[in-house]
């Protein structure tokens, strides 16, 4: 498979040093690293691709060793925890990050796939409208959320987090699916409009606050807000279909114990439309 490989240089313009000691890193904006853009460029053009670090503009080759050919697959090695906007607004192709990555990964993307082998920062997949983002490690706050002041968050696509996530996951989410295998912070699904969120670990406080519609599924005890009403305990067949979809289409492991199982259903938030739902798995 044709692939473009980028390896972060040990010495790059983003490193702040005092003598021989590393004292910090400058945030680096890499919204130009997009598989759908790079596949159309020559190797010479790729090397000269603009990257901004602080007030300065650099070229891609100032930060990375570049090998391979222009392709729809980009593989990046290194600690990119101070790199922002990777794959933002991407519409096709694949980016693989062998390491950690910073904020705004895949924000506003409409297609393609981003695979992160380490951890991700805040605003992962914010306002995305399609595509797939997978994170093997943890993610920060505002996963799949709306930017401050905007009305809609994630609107289609899938985000999978193998570890834990922070606060305000799925804030103002409109459509799509978010799967968190670990724990989640406070305000999960706050002001959620539609879509589905699955949390297999523990959830923080005020889940579903202000949600209008949508579904939150949890597999551990959850503190329910008083603005939600207990509805029923039942065996929702649609979850069996949803679990098979996640397994078949995205290769996400779902334990057999969650199939054909009983869930408690709460509806709310009654301060809004009250048409959202929280389903809590009833352990035998």
Give the chain as a DSSP string.
Answer: ---EEEEE-SS-TTEEEETTEEEEE--EE-TT--HHHHTTS-HHHHHT-EEEETTEEEEHHHHEEEEE-S-SEEEEES-BTTEE-TTTT--SSEEEEES-B-TTTTTT--SSEEEESS---SSTTTT--S-EEEESS---S-TT-PPTT-S---EEEEEEESS---SSTTTT--EEEEEESS---SSTTTT--S-EEEESS---SSTTTT--S-EEEESS-----TTSEEEEEE--HHHHHHHHHHHHHH-----GGGTT--EEEEEE-TTTT--EEEEEE---
Q: What is the percentage of the chain residues whose pLDDT exceeds 70?
A: 100
| Rounded-to-integer distance, Cα 126 and Cα 88, Å | 9
- Other beta carbons within 10 Å of 270: 14
pLDDT for residue 197: 98
Split at pLDDT 50, 70, 90, the class of 283 is confident
Kindly list the distances between the CA atom of residue 27 and the CA atoms of 13, 15, 55, 84, 85, in Å, as whole numbers in the listed order.
10, 10, 10, 7, 11
pLDDT at 17 over 90: no
pLDDT at 170: 98
| Residue 22: pLDDT over 80 | no
Residue 24 has pLDDT above 90, yes or no: no
- Give the pLDDT confidence score for residue 177 in this predicted structure: 98
pLDDT for the residue numbered 20? 77
Residue pointed to by tokens 């044709």: 2
Cα distance between residue 73 and residue 203, in whole Å: 35
Which pLDDT value is given to residue 16? Answer: 86
Predicted confidence at residue 26, as pLDDT, reads 92
CA angle at 199 for the pair 217 and 73, rounded to the nearest 5°: 120
Query: How much is the mean pLDDT over the chain?
Result: 96
pLDDT at res. 32: 95
pLDDT interval class at 229 (50, 70, 90) = very high
23, two tokens: 């004292």
| Per-residue model confidence (pLDDT) at position 138 | 98
DSSP H helices, 21-125, are: 35-38, 43-47, 60-63
**Confidence band for 2, pLDDT divided at 50, 70 and 90:** confident
From residue 273, alpha-carbon distances to 193, 211, 216, 227, 278 in Å are 10, 8, 16, 11, 14
The DSSP H or E segment spanning 217 is strand 215-218
Phi first, then psi: what are they for 146, rounded to 5°?
A: -90, 145
> Does 187 score more than 80 pLDDT?
yes
pLDDT in tens, 107-156: 999 999 999 999 999 999 999 999 999 999 999 999 999 999 999 999 99
CA distances from residue 128 to 133, 148, 156 in whole angstroms, order as listed: 10, 15, 7
């Amino acid at each position: 498979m044709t692939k473009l490989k980028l390896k972060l240089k040990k010495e790059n313009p983003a490193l702040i040093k005092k003598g021989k000691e590393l004292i910090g890193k400058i945030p680096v904006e890499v919204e130009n690293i997009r598989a759908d853009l790079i596949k159309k460029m020559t190797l010479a053009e790729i090397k000269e691709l603009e990257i901004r670090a602080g007030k300065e503009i650099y070229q891609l080759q100032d930060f990375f060793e570049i090998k391979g050919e222009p392709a729809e697959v980009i593989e990046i090695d290194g600690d990119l925890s101070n790199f922002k906007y990777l794959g933002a607004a991407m519409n096709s192709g694949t980016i693989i990050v062998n390491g950690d990555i910073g904020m705004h990964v895949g924000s506003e993307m409409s297609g393609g796939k981003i695979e992160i082998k380490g951890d991700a920062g805040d605003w992962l997949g914010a306002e995305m409208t399609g595509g797939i983002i997978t994170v093997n490690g943890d993610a920060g706050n505002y996963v799949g959320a709306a930017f401050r002041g905007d009305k809609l968050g994630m609107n289609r696509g899938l985000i999978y987090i193998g570890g834990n996530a922070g606060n305000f996951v799925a804030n103002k989410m409109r459509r799509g699916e978010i799967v968190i295998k670990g724990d989640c912070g406070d305000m999960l699904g706050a002001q959620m409009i539609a879509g589905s969120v699955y949390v297999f670990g523990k959830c923080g406080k005020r889940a579903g606050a202000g949600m209008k519609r949508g579904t939150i599924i949890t597999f551990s005890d959850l503190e329910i807000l008083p603005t939600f009403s207990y509805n029923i305990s039942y065996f929702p067949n649609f979850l069996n279909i949803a679990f098979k979809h996640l397994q078949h289409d995205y290769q996400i492991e779902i334990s057999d114990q969650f199939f054909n199982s009983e869930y408690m259903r709460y509806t709310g938030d009654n301060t809004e439309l009250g048409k959202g739902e929280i389903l809590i798995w009833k352990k035998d």
